[in-house]
Chain A
Amino acid sequence: MSITSDKNLRGIPMKPYDMVREGLIVFSTIAIIVLILAAFWGFPGKNYWPLTIKEVATKAPIAFLNRTVTYFDGTSGLQTYGPPYTHDNANAQRIGPFCPACWVGVMFPLNAKVDLVMQPLQQIADLNPAVATALKTYQQASAKQQMAWSQAYTAALGKAKVQNGQVILPNGDYGPVQVLMDGMLKFARAGLLEAALTVNTNPKLAPYNTDYTRAFLYLGGNIMNTVANHFDEPGGNWGMSHMAGPYPAAWWLWPYTLLYQIPAIGNLPNADLVAFLIFAAMLGTLIFLPFIPGLNRIPYKIPVYKVIWRDWYAKYPSGDPSKPATK
């Protein structure tokens, strides 16, 4: 045996053993247990399909238009998100000067107005002359005029009605914005928006586009939160450790997701950073536990080991094999 084993096992009585056989027995047992669980319960969560932009545009057109117009006029959270998307650090999570997000910086620059709305509108304009005209009118107007149209349109959306799938707005001066937004809605209803967002990430790579970030981001915010509330899945509901349906999924994350259930942490603007640091401290404590005075004595104070090695202590009460029990 190795020099370490020789040193550790000096004076210890040995017994015959077959490691590979034991390993195979345990592996077979575990494999059978897993196969039975899988056959009996399958995938226990409720497997809801992903939320598509087409579905939102069809079933909740006003929600879709509301989200789209926020990208269009620059009022969405994505436009002031900070790193990794925008250069403004005001909303980056930090504790005093400690701001890992700021240090990483803008890895994936995102101009939500251009990337999520204007680029698809250019493509829609190629297909639809009315949208092309409206786009030209919009681009030739002053920034002030553009904002006035968007604001009037946004306010009108609050009073909008849906009849036979058509969004009916009260009369008002929306300039070309209503035509542009209707163009986006039709495009989304045709199921083309995710594909356009993905291709526009890198048009030169068209058949090789594999980055779906923009399509994932589009429905973020109110729309996804509404759906998540419907399934009892917001962050205050055990987050990652809770999947759709009645079952826990990643129950081993409970120590982490528990932190979000504490209002003093969960309601902080920098909750993610605070929760992670606490969780990292828990893990760090466990990693360095052998060196932490007091904690490394707990196993001697709570003598579970006497049960684990009960046969050994019956023979050698002190644990030392050179001092057998006297009969």
Chain B
Amino acid sequence: MNIDKALQKVISKYMTLEDALPTKMPEYVNSFGYFFGTATLSSLAVIFISGIILVFFGPDWWHFTKVGAFVNAVHFWSVEVFYVAITLHFTFKFFKAAWRDGRQRTWMNGWAIYAITIFSGISGTLLQANWDAQWNSQQGKDAFAAIGLSWMNWLNYTTVLTLHVVFFAALIVLLVAAHLTFVRSESPVRPIVNEGKDENEK
């Protein structure tokens, strides 16, 4: 069996160039309900860009320079905007029942991303090297011990830094890539027909 050939077959079946870079959309894609996913992705991009800059200069840089303080503020605000966007995104997807026609995978993967961002956000808070970070790590150690997560040493700054900038970041990138692949491969969900009366038989 030729593996390349097999992969070609799968990709051309589930992700054509027209799926990856669409030049046309169904007519019903005409609403604010389709905007917040893109907004979530955009704010995530700003989080990553500002985060990468912070990584280069080290986690204490923002305490001592004006530029560092500004990049840190951009990182902070992009996270705030991200959560506003993702909240609106899943609210709209819920009211569209967007898991219809076999799209449950996308919905579940989205919530997995949300769960990981929570841990990513906590680890980011602990990196601030200020009183808040110190207090939260002190409080957090009890919670992490209680839920059996103390093996990720949340009081070891280097571990937390690595978790935040590598592990959680990579998980988020992977799952977001999967999320976008599902969405593009399956097309946007169609409007509800007959007020959903036939939905549960499917």
Contact = CB atoms under 8 A, between A and B. Distances in A.
A8 B186 contact: yes
A12 interface: yes
A43 B135 contact: no
A324 interface: no
Interface string A75-116: 000000001100000001100000011011001100000000
A286 B128 CA distance: 31
A305 B95 contact: yes
Contacts of B130: 47-50
Interface stretch (A140-148, A155-163, A309-317): A309-317
Contacts of B115: 283
Interface in B97-129: 97, 99, 101-102, 104, 107-108, 111-112, 114-115, 118, 121-122, 125, 128-129
18 contacts: A15-B25, A30-B46, A31-B46, A43-B62, A43-B69, A43-B76, A50-B130, A50-B133, A50-B134, A217-B155, A240-B140, A249-B125, A252-B87, A275-B143, A283-B111, A283-B115, A309-B31, A312-B191
A22 B38 contact: yes
Interface residues on A, range: 35 or more
B17 to A, nearest CB: 10
Interface residues of B, number: 102
A297 B196 CA distance: 8
Contacts, number: 288
A56 B90 CA distance: 46
Interface of B: 13-16, 18-19, 21-33, 35, 38-39, 41-43, 45-46, 62-63, 69-70, 72-74, 76-78, 80-81, 83, 85, 87, 92, 94-97, 99, 101-102, 104, 107-108, 111-112, 114-115, 118, 121-122, 125, 128-140, 142-143, 145-151, 153, 155-159, 185-187, 190-197, 199-200
Given A39-B70, A291-B104, A296-B97, A212 B131 contact: no
A311 B30 contact: yes
A1 B14 CA distance: 8
Contacts of A2: 13-16, 19, 185-186
Interface stretch (A129-137, A173-181, A227-235): A227-235
